Amino acid sequence: MKNIYLLTLFALSFLSFSCDNDDADEQAKFAVPVIKSLTEIRADISVTAARQTQSNGKIYVAENYLFYIAQESGVHVFNNSNPASPLNIAFINLEGVHDISVKGNYLYADNFVDLLVFDISDIQNITLVRTIENSVAFSPTYPEDAEFYDYTVYPTGDEIITGFSIEMKDRPEGQDLILAGDALATFESSNASQVGTGGSYARFQINNDALYTIDAYKLNVFNISDPINAFFDKEVYMTQWFGGGEFETLFIQKDILFVGSTTGMYTVDAEDEFNPYFVSGFSHATACDPVVVYLNTAYITVRGGSTCGAIDDQINLIDVTDIANPTLLSTYLLDEPYGLGIKNNVLYVGCGANGLKIFDAVNSANLTLENTYPGNVKDIIPLDSHLIVVGDNHIKQYNYGPNFTLTLISEIDL
């Protein structure tokens, strides 16, 4: 009797487990759009006292101030006049911020589809002075683990999709499956003086009275000669770029723009600041790649894996003496390279969990690894005075030392 009882319990348990599995098989992960109205987004802009953040981001430096751009959260402002003791002094609440640029007393920031101008002449009283509505493109990042797109949730009126949540819903079949696929396909198609310095992941650059921003496939030009009356001037959407991958980063040296894309690097002549034009390109397999330039050499970190592509992780060194004909000088294989910076023939590369790598770059054909510092490092700004690196919610500042060494002077937990 006891054996029969145990067998019955086992059978019931098996049936229950099987039913649970059947239920689980009928469920799927849906990307559900998060909808907000532009009226609400614009009304939420504010400047408050300093606060901490848990959002990943990037850094920007202007004179004695360090700005931490917390993705889709806001901009944290630090007084960095003493790098050994940076002070968190203010927070600009901008849910849709992804990049900033500073010239003189004005800070330019995106807020989803708008470009904003802030007066920062009094850093304790930052004020919004201009909004250029619907002037930049925004497309939320689609979650990698989503199996289906919830086409039943969509924006109307002045609403936009600001992101996605993942929800478990019944797995679609028949016509619902076709509609989910169609909806996803539709969604997927859809340096003068007093100018600050951004990292290698910058998407904004200033050239005299022009502010450049990049969208996935075009360059936007804004006229900022009068910041309070700044306006959208034009978009540069060149046929040479078609099929050339999505634009990711923007670097400027003198009046030449270097655009990092998912398939390579483009050079753009911006001597006429309001009429930049395509010059040439250097291609590689699909990957994620910021670019920085020092003298006649461009340095590109090329990271494969996940959504970035199948190429081996590496650094490409490109001769850009003739920007119409960029040529490969050398390739250095390196695990998980992210952002990078170059100063006085010393190359600094953030390698994620693999730390900060320091290279002797005097010989462009023979990059030499000289030192490694531990930590999670995603981007770098090498200033004349010292080095700033950023990782996940963490900033470190270093003094330069002899023989490719660094001395830690401060850390900021964000």
Domain ranges of the chain: 31-142+180-413
DSSP 214-237: E-SS-EEEEE-SSGGG-EEEEEE-
Q: What is the mean pLDDT of the chain?
A: 85
Percent share of the chain, pLDDT over 90: 55
pLDDT reported for residue 302: 83
Residue length of the chain: 414
412: its two tokens: 């900021």
Is residue 301 within 8 A of residue 340, CB to CB? The reply is yes
Residue 270 φ then ψ, to 5°: -120, 30
* Lowest-pLDDT range of 98-107, 166-175, 335-344, 372-381: 166-175
Residue for token pair 């310095």: 197
- Measured CA to CA, the distance from residue 281 to residue 277 in angstroms comes to 12
pLDDT reported for residue 21: 45
**Position 101 confidence tier, pLDDT thresholds 50, 70, 90:** very high
Question: What is the per-residue pLDDT across 195-219, written as a single tens digit (0 to 9) for each?
Answer: 888 888 889 999 999 999 988 788 9
Question: What is the per-residue pLDDT across 363-388, written as a single tens digit (0 to 9) for each?
Answer: 888 899 999 999 999 999 999 999 99
pLDDT reported for residue 260: 86
Is residue 323 within 8 A of residue 338, CB to CB? The reply is no
Strands 87-93 and 74-79: what pairing?
Answer: antiparallel
- The residues near 294 (Cβ < 8 Å, ≥ 6 apart) are 342, 343, 345, 361
- Max distance between CA atoms of the chain, in angstroms, equals 93
Nearest-10 Cα torsion for 106, 112, 114, 117? -10
Question: What is the per-residue pLDDT across 241-288, written as a single tens digit (0 to 9) for each?
Answer: 655 678 888 999 989 999 888 878 889 999 999 999 988 888 765 556
pLDDT(11) > 70: no
At the topology level, CATH places domain 31-142+180-413 in: Methylamine Dehydrogenase; Chain H (2.130.10)
Q: Which residue has the higher pLDDT, 75 or 143?
A: 75
Task: Report CA torsion sign: 344, 303, 249, 257.
Answer: positive
* Segment 104-111 mean pLDDT: 96
**Position 188 confidence tier, pLDDT thresholds 50, 70, 90:** low
Residue 341 φ then ψ, to 5°: -150, 150
* Segment 52-78 mean pLDDT: 89
pLDDT(55) > 90: no
Residue 31 CB: number of other CB atoms within 10 A?
A: 24
